[in-house]
Structure 1
Amino acid sequence: MKAYYQNIEFWDLITLPFYFILLYFLLTVFAKNVLLKDNKFINVYFLGLLLFYLAIGLIDFKIKLIPFFPDTKLFTAILETGRTPDNQSIGVKIGYKFLAIPIYNLSLRSIFNYFLFNVFFFQLGLIFLAGAFNRTYELKDILVQRFFLVLAALAPSIVVYSFTPLRESYFVLALGLFFYGLSRKSILNIFLVLGIVLAGILRVQLLLYFFIIIGLNYLSQLKLSRKALITLTVVLFPVVFVGLNAISKAILNIAITPKSLALFRNLQRLEYFESGVTYPEVFWSNWFDLILGFPGLFFQFLLAPFPVLIFIPFWTKIAYFADGLYLLAILFLSVLFVRYWKNYGIWFLYIGIYLAMSSFFEFHLLGAVRHRLPATLLFLGIAASSLAHYLPKYRWIFKY
């Protein structure tokens, strides 16, 4: 039996309906205020989704459905004792401690109730992300929004990580809040600030990504000509690079140089080398070496657990394999929409930058599946738009 199921008592199940009703109410309230007006669908969708997740959780208690990940024991111990080991990152010592432990106490220290909160934070982040996509492209088509939610409900990573005491639900919430704040007219707003703060206390790499996106979003709003934009980019590049290098040194303790990035990757992989799923060692002495090696890192991160640089029998890793197949389906739907990609340039830029940044730092094949989740979720808007475009005759399915 998994560590977090060992202390389950009968009263845990008695309190479950109360939390179910409370979180269902909160989800529908947020959804009706953030998303396009679609009240009937929202009511039915979130009721069905929560029942689906509740069934998975209860089945997992009796029959193992959700994998027990290596970090799960650590995070379970932190929840139950309230103490974090000194050798952990700031994201664990501060972010997880001051987010997860209060939620666990609010859950009456019941892991089932806590997992319901996990589901809630995942779905809340997705609501804000769907709302951000709607706002960015001024969408009025309800079908795009519905396909977005349905595709999100089928994401294997969200199902799996909803039932583990890890940090993924908080990451997705930070992502949704940030992009929803970014899509609003005012440059500084509560959603943007909350997203940045959450990222700052959870994972500093995500914070660095957010700062880059803010800068790009500001440039895109200047509505410069292509020539002026290229000139500005060339002029500002050295300044931006120096600034990013300083931020990287301050929050990641890594200089943005080929040798520093190679050393970081190679030291990290040594710690997990015995797992058999680390990326190959890299030898970057100059920028040319790094540029040659980058495509392999990029596509290995994007397509994990499928082989690009390394091979494992991925079909035996059922949860990771399912997530890989899901991503391929999302990418296929996005490729079908290729003729309209120019309309979604800034959104693809958001995705590409996340994948590029994460590729440099990822050194573990199975870790890549977990860390790729934000990019997968950003693809959902494009995939949903593709479905709404190519399947208009099926709109009757969603009529009441």
Structure 2
Amino acid sequence: MKLYYENMELWDFLTLPFYFLFVYLVLIWAAKSVLLPDSKYLNLHFFGLLLFYLTIGLIDFNFKLIPFFPDTNLFTRILETGETPFNQSIGVRIGYKYLAIPIYQLSLRSIYNYFLFNICFLHLGLIFLAAAFNQFYAQSDVWVQRFFLLLGAVAPSILVYSFTPLRESYFVLALGLFFYGLSKKNLLNIFLILGVLLAGILRVQLLLYFFILFFVQYLHKKKLSTGLLVVLLIFAIPVGYFSLNFLSQAILNIRITPESLSLFRNLQRLEYFESGVTYPEVFWTSWFDVILDFPGLFFQFLLTPFPVIIFIPFWTKLAYFADGLFLLFLLFVAIPIFSDWRKYSVWLLFIGIYIGMSAFFEFHLLGAVRHRLPATLLLMALAAKALAYLLTKYRWIFRY
């Protein structure tokens, strides 16, 4: 039995319906507040979703359906003891401690009630992301948000992280709040600020990503001419590099140079080498070396656990395999969107920037699946748009 199930009692199951109802009402309230009007569907979707997830959780209690990650023991002990080891990151010692522990107490120290809050935060993040995509592209077709919510309901990573006491639910909520704020006319708003604050106390690396996206969206809103954009980029690239280098040193204690990036990856790789699923060593002495390796790192991060620059028997790791298949499905479905890349160029840029930044720092093959989640969710929005387009185009089939 998993560590966090060992203290389960009858009281945990008796309180479950009350938390179920609370989470359902919160999700419905949020969805109806920010999404396109679609009351009947939203009521049915979230009720069915919570029943489906609760069934998965109860099956996992007896049959170990959800994998047990190496970090799970650590986070379970933090929840149960209220203490965080000093050698952990700020995101664990501060963010997780002051977010997760109060939620666990609010759950009456019941892991199933806590998992319902996990589900709540994950799907709140998805609601805000769907609303952000609606606002970015002035969507009026409810099928886009319907498909997005449906994809989110069956996404393997969302299912898995709903039933683990890790930080992913908070990350997804931070991402959703930030993107919803980014889609507003006024870029400085409460949603964006909340997303930045939440990311800052949980995983400071996300702040670098949010900083770049804010700058990209600011330029996009200005609707500048191509010539002026080129001039601005010529000046912005060195300024951006020195700014990111400063932030990287201040936050991560890493200089953005080929040598330091190479050393960081290789040292981390050594620590996890015995796991057998680390990336190969890199030997970067110039930016040309980095450029040569970048395509392989980019696509390995994107397509993990499938082989690009390294092979593992991916079919033996079912959760990671399922997530990889889901990503391939999203890429396949989104092909019509890629053909109209000019219209969705900014959203595609958001995805590319995240994958590019993460690929530089990733050193663990299976860790890439976990850290790829934000890119998967952004890609999900494009796949939802493509599915809505296909439904409209081939709706005549369902008449017969």
TM-score, normalising length from structure 1? 0.98
Residue type of the alignment partner of 1:22: F
Residue type of the alignment partner of 1:267: L
Q: How far apart, CA to CA, are the structure 2 residues paired with 1:335 and 1:393?
A: 15
Equivalence map 1:196-345=2 (5 Å): 196-345=196-345
Q: What is the match of residue 106 of structure 2?
A: 106
Q: What is the match of residue 45 of structure 2?
A: 45
Question: In 2, are the aligned partners of 1:306 and 1:324 still within 8 Å (CA)?
Answer: yes
> Structure 1 runs of 4+ off > 3 angstroms?
393-398
Residue type of the alignment partner of 2:384: A
Deviation at 1:381, TM superposition (A): 1.3
Using the aligned pairs only, state the percent identity: 70
Equivalence map 1:4-83=2 (5 Å): 4-83=4-83
TM-score, normalising length from structure 2? 0.98
Q: How far apart, CA to CA, are the structure 2 residues paired with 1:241 and 1:359?
A: 17
Deviation at 1:186, TM superposition (A): 1.4
Residue type of the alignment partner of 2:259: K
- Gap runs ≥5 in structure 2: none
Equivalence map 1:308-387=2 (5 Å): 308-387=308-387
Post-superposition Cα deviations, 1:262-305, rounded to whole Å, max 9, x if no partner, equal 01101111110000000001000011111101111100000000
Q: What is the match of residue 389 of structure 1?
A: 389
Residue type of the alignment partner of 1:261: L
Q: What is the match of residue 97 of structure 1?
A: 97
- Gap runs ≥5 in structure 1: none
Question: In 2, are the aligned partners of 1:143 and 1:395 still within 8 Å (CA)?
Answer: no
Deviation at 1:228, TM superposition (A): 1.1
Equivalence map 1:145-164=2 (5 Å): 145-164=145-164
Question: In 2, are the aligned partners of 1:156 and 1:326 still within 8 Å (CA)?
Answer: yes
Residue type of the alignment partner of 1:168: E
Paired positions, count: 398
Q: What is the match of residue 178 of structure 1?
A: 178
Deviation at 1:339, TM superposition (A): 2.6
Q: How far apart, CA to CA, are the structure 1 residues paired with 2:394 and 2:384?
A: 14
Deviation at 1:391, TM superposition (A): 1.8
Deviation at 1:34, TM superposition (A): 0.7
The alignment yields a C-alpha RMSD, in angstroms, of 1.3
Residue type of the alignment partner of 1:51: L
Deviation at 1:397, TM superposition (A): 12
Q: How far apart, CA to CA, are the structure 2 residues paired with 1:68 and 1:159?
A: 13
Deviation at 1:396, TM superposition (A): 9.6
Deviation at 1:394, TM superposition (A): 6.7
Post-superposition Cα deviations, 1:323-361, rounded to whole Å, max 9, x if no partner, equal 000000001111233332211110001000000000001
Deviation at 1:236, TM superposition (A): 2.1
Question: In 1, are the aligned partners of 2:337 and 2:344 still within 8 Å (CA)?
Answer: no
Residue type of the alignment partner of 2:218: Y
Deviation at 1:395, TM superposition (A): 6.0
Q: How far apart, CA to CA, are the structure 2 residues paired with 1:147 and 1:393?
A: 15
Q: Which moved more, 1:228-237 or 1:156-165?
A: 228-237
